[in-house]
Amino acid sequence: MNKKKKPLDNTLFSTLTEGMKPFKQNKHHFGTPQKDKQQLAEKEQQLDSDSYFSDTYQPNLPSEGPMRWRRDDVDSFEIKRLRRGDYQPDLLLDLHGMRQSEAKLELAALIRACIKQQSHCCCIMHGHGTGILKQHIPMWLAQHPHVMAFHKAPKEWGADAALLVLIDIGELPHRR
């Protein structure tokens, strides 16, 4: 009984596959995929924030009075100009509701954007909240080589919940 079905199965299969052509096999060898620009930018941003901002570094920041800091090579008059509001921030960064890791990335991106757009001053709004960002942001800013000085923002820019930051944009002429 099995011997009789074999020829019938073969003829049935041949009639069903009649006129079909076999697929031509493409021989593609896939290497590592190309990373798009967004992935490369995110990676660069992550490296920037990791290399500049340490959570263990404790700069010499004031314990009393308004939050302020300046690099050693920056004139003390620049702090006074920041306090008075002589500098108008070109870029604003609102960190309300962000975690520390997100705030680090955004901070690195802001400084890079200031340099790219030749903005000499920016404002970082960290808010009051639990005070975690309010404590860490000045420490991170003091570590970055492009930050010249920062001071608690005047009332119109956020007062205790914000910082005005002076950025070193290099040899390019800057606006005041």
Q: What is the pLDDT of residues 96-110, one digit of tens each?
A: 888 888 888 889 889
Average pLDDT over residues 17-36: 78
DSSP-derived 3-state class of residue 174: coil
Name every residue whose Cβ is closer than 8 Å to that of residue 154 and which is 6 or more positions away in sequence: 83, 84, 85, 164
Radius of gyration of the chain (CA): 30
124 lies in a domain? yes
57 lies in a domain? no
Q: Which residues face 26 on adjacent strands?
A: none
Average pLDDT over residues 142-166: 87
pLDDT at 7: 67
160: DSSP letter: G
42 lies in a domain? no
Q: What would the pLDDT profile of 40-80 be if each residue is shown by its tens digit?
A: 777 776 666 556 777 777 777 777 778 888 888 888 888 88
| pLDDT band, residue 154 (cuts 50/70/90) | confident
78 lies in a domain? yes
Q: What is the CATH number of the domain that holds 152?
A: 3.30.1370.110
- Domain hosting 101: range is 47-52+72-167
pLDDT at 15: 86
105 or 122: whose pLDDT is higher?
122
How far apart CA 163 and CA 176 sit, in angstroms, is: 18
Predicted TM-score (pTM) of this structure: 0.66
- Domain count for the chain: 1
pLDDT at 13: 84
pLDDT at 175: 47
22 lies in a domain? no
30 lies in a domain? no
135 lies in a domain? yes
10 lies in a domain? no
Q: Considering the chain, what is the average pLDDT of its residues?
A: 81
Distance of CA 3 to the CA centre of its chain: 73
- pLDDT over 90 at 26, yes or no: no
What type of residue sits at position 168?
D
Could you tell me the CA-to-CA distances from 36 to 39, 40, 62, 166 in Å, in that order? Answer: 6, 7, 44, 33
